[in-house]
Chain A
Amino acid sequence: DTGVSQDPRHKITKRGQNVTFRCDPISEHNRLYWYRQTLGQGPEFLTYFQNEAQLEKSRLLSDRFSAERPKGSFSTLEIQRTEQGDSAMYLCASSLGQGGPQHFGDGTRLSIL
C-alpha cells in the first residue's frame, strides 16, 4: 500500500494558462474524490468517481474544470484559463466501499501569478 499519490506537488502558472493535475489512488480503492482547500479552511468537495463513472460534481466545479478517471484507475483534474481565485491546494482522496474512510494524498498546491 503506497498511499494516494499526487503530481505535481507544486504548480506555478500565469493567469490564463491551462493546468492538469494527476492523482493515483490506492490500487484497490474504487472511489476517488477531488477537493479544493484554501488557507485556513476545510477541504471543499469538487467531484467524485466510482470506478470510471463521475457520479457527482459540485457547483464549485465551473465549466473551466474537468476531471476524468479513465479505466477507473488514476484521475486527472484540468483547469482551463486559470484565474487568481483558482489558487489553492487541490487534494485527492480514495476510499473503498460505502462509508470507507478516505485516504488523502499530499495535495497539489496551485499558485496563479
Chain B
Amino acid sequence: AQTVTQSQPEMSVQEAETVTLSCTYDTSESDYYLFWYKQPPSRQMILVIRQEAYKQQNATENRFSVNFQKAAKSFSLKISDSQLGDAAMYFCAYSGGYQKVTFGTGTKLQVIP
C-alpha cells in the first residue's frame, strides 16, 4: 500500500521569505503522480502543483516549485515570496495506477506579517 508522510505538522514563514514543506512517500509503482493541495481554513481544497513521476524536470507554478527526488521518494514544496494568503493546511498526495489518491496528514503553514 502506498503511504505519504509529512513530518512537519506546523511551519511558519515571514512574509516575503521562502519556505519548504517536506513530503516523502512509499510505493512500488513506477508510474504515478504527486500533488500538493492547499486547504485554507473552512475552505475548499485547491490544487497547488502536480508532478508526473516519469518527468525528471521539477514542476513550477509561479511562486510554487517542487523538488522531486524519485530515487529518494521525496517531494518537497518550495513557496517563494510568501504571502499572507498562503497561510493554510498543505497536503501532499500520491496517485498511482488506480487513481485513488493517498494524502499525507498535512502541514499547517503560518505566514507572519
Contacts and interface: CB of A to CB of B under 8 A. Distances in A.
A25 interface: no
A91 B103 CA distance: 13
Interface in A13-48: 31, 33, 35, 40-45, 48
B84 interface: no
Contacts of A45: 100-102
Contacts of B35: 101-102
A3 B95 CA distance: 21
A95 B44 contact: no
Interface residues of B, number: 23
Question: B interface, by DSSP: helix, strand, loop or mixed?
Answer: strand
B106 A41 contact: yes
Contacts of B11: none
A99 interface: yes
A42 B98 contact: no
A104 to B, nearest CB: 4
A31 B99 contact: yes
A99 B101 contact: no
Interface residues of A, number: 25
Nearest to B4: A42
Given A43-B103, A95-B99, A101-B50, 11 more contacts: A33-B100, A35-B101, A40-B106, A41-B106, A42-B103, A44-B103, A45-B102, A48-B98, A48-B99, A102-B101, A104-B46
Contact of B44 (A31, A55, A56, A105): A105
A86 interface: no
A20 to B, nearest CB: 22
A42 B91 contact: yes
B47 interface: yes
B44 A104 contact: yes
